Amino acid sequence: MATFELPDDLSRSRVHLVGIKGTGMCPLAELLSRSGSRVTGSDTGDVFYTDAILAELGIPCAAGFSAANLPPDTDFVIHSAAYSADSNPELAEALRRGLPVMKYTEALGSYSGRFDSSGIAGVHGKTTTTAICGTLCRAAELPAQILAGSAVGDFGGRSTLVLGDRYFVAETCEYRRHFLSFRPRRIVLTSVESDHQDYFPTYGSIRDAFVEYSGKLPDGGELIYCADDDGAAEVAALAKKARGDLVLVPYGESAEGPFRIHSIRTEAERTILRIESFPEELRLRVPGRHVALDAAGALALISSLVRAEFGDGGNPDGWDSRRRSAVASALEAFRGSRRRSEIVGEAAGVLVMDDYGHHPTAIRTTLEGLRAFYPDRRLVVSFMSHTYTRTAALLEEFASSFAAADLLVLHKIYASARERYTGGVTGRTLFERAEALRPGVRYIDEPMDAVGELAAELRVGDLFLTMGAGDNWKLGRAILQRLEEQKRRPT
């Protein structure tokens, strides 16, 4: 499957996407469709939130995979990394016809070459940072396109926001070095630590991948990095050592310069921060210090884009009071993205939320943020670990990451299609380690088996949070439904 470049004129292209419902593939389909391409796709018959988006866009999606799904006039095919010609009949048919075939990451990289592009990268925080960037691009009137790794409320429930055709801001993923296909002029680096142990067996291996990505910046390219994150700071130092021309832009409480955070505090369900280059206090309604850091990184990138778009001799940084005020207002209005401290609903006085956090650091910072944001609520957490390799490699870190929870319910490990269980660590292993560290830990193997017990346990004022990259998010919705039914029953 040789890589090729997307055609200069996409309006003349017929493209088929294999695995079109994916969180990256669906927004790419939208951008290609907006560019005039005739887009078709296929995926499993399972229903995802992206089904509604594809239907709204009028993009046909076949249920299941068959060579017959590939239209006869297809010009090229893009596929999710989950599929290959060895096992997918549509990709095999494309090769038989001699059609160009691209992985999603290759297509995204080719698309990024059309713009002044910025990549958002990091083990944690890249989706939220990308989502905030889109919200602030709109407030700053920047002609940009944004692609996030999840649905964003401020994007109308989609993963893309199209404001123009000059800049492109996209979430870029480190797994299997996928981000090396991207062509950035700027990179925002939120965090670097050990993860994806099935591919990066050591911290050094994942760190070096981020250094390699930083090396893709052009001469004088900007590496915007979180100075409060040891891994991001180390990558920035190594990248600068290898490439003295790179411009390092730190942000955070440990940073020096315009994006130094002077203070972060929580009051009245708002996170309030002060940043060196912004005279006014900035407010967020999404909880957590980690989100405040993501906002600072987004502001650093938006400031660079504003300078590029509006800066001149009389106003070199491009900012004016109107634009600053609009950005501050947009930041406070930001509602987060799907599965990032997402409010699912409230019933019988119980607030139900869902979060994608599946790494010990993300778990700890998210729970601490919720504890500070909702100090009077009891915090009840359902967590489902994702991948045996990650759980085994970070077992002790996982076990100690739930300190802010009042009641913790653990489940079986949600297996990844990319690994097989060979014995050893299980969900019960994590439960035993966590139980040894603190009271208030339970184990219920199947998440949906916990509906009755938790619905009876929850009380007025509680916050119930489903957490992880597994499918225990269904538990939160089932409990919400049960609580609503209980509320309607006559006493």
Asked whether residue 491 carries a pLDDT value surpassing 60, the answer given is no
Exposed, middle or buried, 424 (CB in 10 Å: 0-12/13-18/19+)?
Answer: exposed
**Cα–Cα distance measured from residue 293 to residue 135, given in angstroms and rounded to the nearest whole number:** 16
Give me the amino acid identity at 373.
F
Within its chain, how far is the Cα of 7 from the centroid? 28
Looking at the chain, the whole-number percentage of residues with pLDDT higher than 70 is: 96
The pLDDT score that the predictor gives to residue 356 is 83
The pLDDT score that the predictor gives to residue 199 is 77
Please give the torsion angle defined by the CA atoms of residues 304, 310, 316 and 317, in that order, rounded to the nearest 10 degrees: -40
Asked whether residue 2 carries a pLDDT value surpassing 60, the answer given is no
Give me the amino acid identity at 366.
T
* Average pLDDT of span 398-418: 90
CATH 3.30.310.220 fits 342-488, yes or no: no
Q: Please report, for residues 30, 123, 152, 153, the alpha-carbon distance to residue 162 in angstroms, rounded to integers and kept in the order given.
A: 10, 26, 13, 14
Asked whether residue 488 carries a pLDDT value surpassing 90, the answer given is no
88-113 pLDDT per residue, tens: 999 999 999 999 999 999 999 999 99
**Cα–Cα distance measured from residue 256 to residue 337, given in angstroms and rounded to the nearest whole number:** 30
**Cα–Cα distance measured from residue 435 to residue 413, given in angstroms and rounded to the nearest whole number:** 17
Q: Please report, for residues 138, 169, 412, the alpha-carbon distance to residue 166 in angstroms, rounded to integers and kept in the order given.
A: 13, 10, 46
Residues of the chain with CATH 3.90.190.20: 342-488
How many other C-beta atoms can be found within 10 angstroms of the C-beta atom of residue 241?
Answer: 10
- Indicate the average pLDDT of the chain: 92
* Average pLDDT of span 276-280: 89
Looking at the chain, the whole-number percentage of residues with pLDDT higher than 90 is: 73
Output the DSSP codes for 23-64: TTHHHHHHHHHHTT-EEEEEE-S---HHHHHHHHHT--EEES
Residues of the chain with CATH 3.40.50.720: 10-107
The pLDDT score that the predictor gives to residue 304 is 97
Q: What is the pTM of this model?
A: 0.81
Asked whether residue 210 carries a pLDDT value surpassing 70, the answer given is yes
344-361 pLDDT per residue, tens: 899 999 999 898 888 898
* Average pLDDT of span 472-479: 94
Please give the torsion angle defined by the CA atoms of residues 201, 202, 208 and 214, in that order, rounded to the nearest 10 degrees: 80
Q: What is the largest CA-CA distance in the chain?
A: 72
**Cα–Cα distance measured from residue 365 to residue 396, given in angstroms and rounded to the nearest whole number:** 16
Containing 488, the helix (H) or strand (E) segment is helix 473-488
417 vs 369, which has greater pLDDT?
369
Residues of the chain with CATH 3.40.1190.10: 115-333
| Residue 114 Rama label (left phi>0; alpha psi -120 to 50; beta) | alpha
378 vs 359, which has greater pLDDT?
378
| pLDDT category of residue 421 using cuts at 50, 70 and 90 | low
* Average pLDDT of span 6-34: 94
Sign (positive or negative) of CA dihedral 168, 174, 179, 184? positive
Exposed, middle or buried, 363 (CB in 10 Å: 0-12/13-18/19+)?
Answer: buried
193 vs 307, which has greater pLDDT?
307
40-78 pLDDT per residue, tens: 999 999 888 899 999 999 999 999 999 999 999 999 999
| pLDDT category of residue 490 using cuts at 50, 70 and 90 | low
3-class DSSP state of 228: coil
What are 158's strand-pairing partners? 152
| pLDDT category of residue 419 using cuts at 50, 70 and 90 | low
* Average pLDDT of span 432-443: 95
* Average pLDDT of span 302-330: 91
Beta-sheet pairing, 167-171 with 247-251: unpaired
Give me the amino acid identity at 369.
G
Q: Please report, for residues 282, 413, 427, the alpha-carbon distance to residue 395 in angstroms, rounded to integers and kept in the order given.
A: 37, 12, 10
106 vs 422, which has greater pLDDT?
106
Q: Please report, for residues 91, 196, 198, 305, 354, the alpha-carbon distance to residue 418 in angstroms, rounded to integers and kept in the order given.
A: 19, 11, 9, 38, 25
Asked whether residue 9 carries a pLDDT value surpassing 70, the answer given is yes
The pLDDT score that the predictor gives to residue 343 is 84
Asked whether residue 280 carries a pLDDT value surpassing 60, the answer given is yes
The pLDDT score that the predictor gives to residue 1 is 40
CATH code of the region 115-333: 3.40.1190.10
Lowest mean pLDDT among 150-164, 254-268, 456-470: 150-164
CATH code of the region 10-107: 3.40.50.720
Lowest mean pLDDT among 159-168, 244-253, 316-325: 316-325
Asked whether residue 430 carries a pLDDT value surpassing 80, the answer given is yes
Q: Please, are residues 37 and 13 in contact by the beta-carbon 8 Å criterion?
A: yes
